[in-house]
Chain A
Amino acid sequence: GAVVSQHPSWVICKSGTSVKIECRSLDFQATTMFWYRQFPKQSLMLMATSNEGSKATYEQGVEKDKFLINHASLTLSTLTVTSAHPEDSSFYICSAFPFGQLNTEAFFGQGTRLTVV
């Protein structure tokens, strides 16, 4: 099956710094990628939809200036957590539908555990 690679798988950063998380589709193109946040023992919360070549679409309540999303190519989307604070500590997961196959199977990255100290 298709592969989505997410990097890094874990990161620890100091409060006030920024952290970039990458999501790559390795063997397919994805015009649309999704970023989720997951709290312990909870479901995935959709943060934003990343659109190649255009602005991301953020869900209600998600600060776009806090969580910067860039989708510069058909295989790469990045999420930057700016001026991170301890409350941003969470598990972040990306996913993608292969190009032309929206509403079919989505493929997920392995997730990034962010800890802000």
Chain B
Amino acid sequence: GNSVTQMEGPVTLSEEAFLTINCTYTATGYPSLFWYVQYPGEGLQLLLKATKADDKGSNKGFEATYRKETTSFHLEKGSVQVSDSAVYFCALAGNNRLAFGKGNQVVVIP
């Protein structure tokens, strides 16, 4: 079945640092890929998406490229802000549902 794997553990970094969160997937067919962000006490908000191989999703300075050859969709941001502190989930849409990674807590220190 479809599955998503995110790198283990929280990510703590200083303001203006470079952020990378790894995401790899297993799926049949050509799924759509997403990054969702969750702020404390809230639901999930779509951050960016890509629907086919080599597509790059981008929003608010975040980017992720759909790499079919490596089955990856890594999230990057060149210069993080304190307001980027949140939990980030990688997700895959297929078989009429979303499969989520475990999520990564990102803490940005001033």
Q: List residues of A whose CB falls within 8 A of some B CB.
A: 1, 4, 6, 32, 34, 41-44, 46, 49, 93, 95, 97, 102-111, 113
Q: Complex formed: what's the CA distance from A111 to B96 in Å?
A: 21
Decide if A32 touches B96 in the complex (CB within 8 Å).
yes
Say whether, besides A34-B97, A43-B103, A46-B97, A104 and B32 are in contact (CB < 8 Å): yes
- Which secondary structure dominates where chain B touches chain A? strand
Q: Which of A1, A6, A43, A103 contacts B46 (CB 8 A)?
A: A1
Task: Specify the chain B residue showing the minimal Cβ separation from A111.
Answer: B43
Q: How far is the CB of B101 from chain A (nearest CB, A)?
A: 7
Task: Specify the chain A residue showing the minimal Cβ separation from B92.
Answer: A103
Decide if A105 touches B34 in the complex (CB within 8 Å).
yes
Q: Which of A32, A42, A106 contacts B102 (CB 8 A)?
A: A42
Q: Complex formed: what's the CA distance from A49 to B95 in Å?
A: 12
